[in-house]
Amino acid sequence: MDFVIIGGDAAGMSAASRAKRIDPAMQVTVLEKTEDVSYSACGMPYNMADAGREMDELIVRQAHVFREKQDINLLTGHCATAIDTAAQKVDGEKPDGTPFSFSYDKLLIATGASATRPDIPGIDEPGVFTLKTLEDGRQIKRYIAEHQVKHTVIIGMGYIGLEMAEALRKRDIAVEMIKPRPRLLPWMDETMADEIRQELEANDVAVHDGRSMTRIKRKNNKLAVINDDETLETDMIFVAVGVTPNTDIAGKAGIALGSHKEITVDRTLETSIPGIYAAGDCADAYNMITGQKIWKPLALRANRAGRAVGDNVCGNHVELPGITGTAVFKVFRFEVARTGLTAAEAETTGFSPVTATIKSRSRAHAHPGSSSLWVHLVGDKVSGRLLGAQMTGIEGAAHRINAVAVALCAGMTVADFAQSDMAYAPPFSPVWDPMLTAANQLLKNFHPEM
């Protein structure tokens, strides 16, 4: 069997490795348009904080290892440009520009996503960067060193933007953040989001939310972010406004796409065309709470989906139930975590959401080092089902969120979750873990008259 994979990062290389492990005789070809495969993209902002670290430290496995130890035909610098589904072949260009063509029996599209750039004049000026690939990271570190960057404007206030704000401040680079929509982290409980804003401001990060941008231009050998009322001059601009799935090649081949132009797959990761699979940031998933399709790029999902494709192309039938959207990131001292639905998302998908937000402690009240921990839970008043959670604090949020993620996967009610037998010791938690306190409060909010 000829198994061809377009894309050589998390999903692509997981599929290739799994298929080769199950069937060593299978011919597995991976077409990767860059020179980098199998690296920890999520580690790039943290690497950026240390001028002395090489970005290549984030490579998990070098390309030659896949070739020599696993007998995978990994072709870097090979850009796939078209899929002929009738002839079952992939066409593209080699590094020298000459064409190539590979026939396939099974095909995986693992083309990932690209960083989105706002459609404003000047967005392609030198010194305006996004961070999605390892080469993006190399270029940013090189630019900071060569131009002695002392000030950066970050457009966007999502996970990557906030992580980059911390990384740049650790290098003593002044940071201003700007976005057109009001509120920092609008999906988050407002009280908790205010804690994150205060943490940013305490670390001298200027937060300009609710401010539009009309253009970027060069001014006095500096870059300038301009709107009608204000000009922010800077040495470098970092754009972090989200990602867009790389699915042009799939769409042109007639493969069904979703509302965000992501590739639609079933639970086996097969697309609308039999024998063609999709996995990673270019593909959708099922929401385990609503049962509806969702596009939410996540590292674990990419690796798990790639592995499942490797099983399925080898005849081992594997179905993935879906995701709950669990995510965690760090903002200076604070851990920020979420899973499941927000109240607004719950209402949109037909639930009757009720929420509870509590402030507790990360450890027993008298134990040294105890700090505040906020927990926000969402439940459905009609069914009593637990729907989602948000947490933030200096410690204790990042790993606690996993308990709620498991509860969501199991379809637990709030009442069931409130009876969970959670570990207690003073260095780690109060007797009543903050999640239990929040669950009990949510139960009271279901019936406030009682």
Active site residues: 42
The dihedral region occupied by 206, where left means phi > 0, alpha psi between -120 and 50, and beta the remainder, is: beta
- Structure token pair of residue 53: 């670290």
Backbone angles phi, psi at 285, to 5 degrees: -150, 170
Per residue in 368-393, is it b (16+ CB within 10 Å) or e — as a string? Answer: eebeebbbbbbbbeeebbbbbbbbbb
Give the torsion through C-alpha atoms of 408, 413, 415, 417, to 10 deg: -20
Number of neighbouring beta carbons within 10 Å of residue 407? 23
- Structure token pair of residue 66: 């896949």
- Structure token pair of residue 127: 């010194």
The dihedral built from the CA positions of residue 33, 39, 42 and 46, taken in this order, carries a sign that is negative
Backbone angles phi, psi at 178, to 5 degrees: -140, 145
User: Could you tell me how far CA 81 lies from the centroid of its own chain?
Assistant: 26
- Structure token pair of residue 306: 């790639």
Q: Are 351 and 341 in contact (CB under 8 A)?
A: yes
Residue 323 DSSP SS3: strand
Q: Are 218 and 121 in contact (CB under 8 A)?
A: no
DSSP state of 185: S
Helices (H) and strands (E) counted in the chain, each on its own, are: 12, 25
- Structure token pair of residue 290: 């609503």
Q: CA-CA distance, 438 to 428, in Å (whole number)?
A: 17
DSSP state of 6: E
- Structure token pair of residue 197: 């804003």
Q: Are 235 and 218 in contact (CB under 8 A)?
A: no
Backbone angles phi, psi at 40, to 5 degrees: -90, 90
Residue 169 DSSP SS3: helix
Q: CA-CA distance, 271 to 312, in Å (whole number)?
A: 13
Q: CA-CA distance, 59 to 38, in Å (whole number)?
A: 6
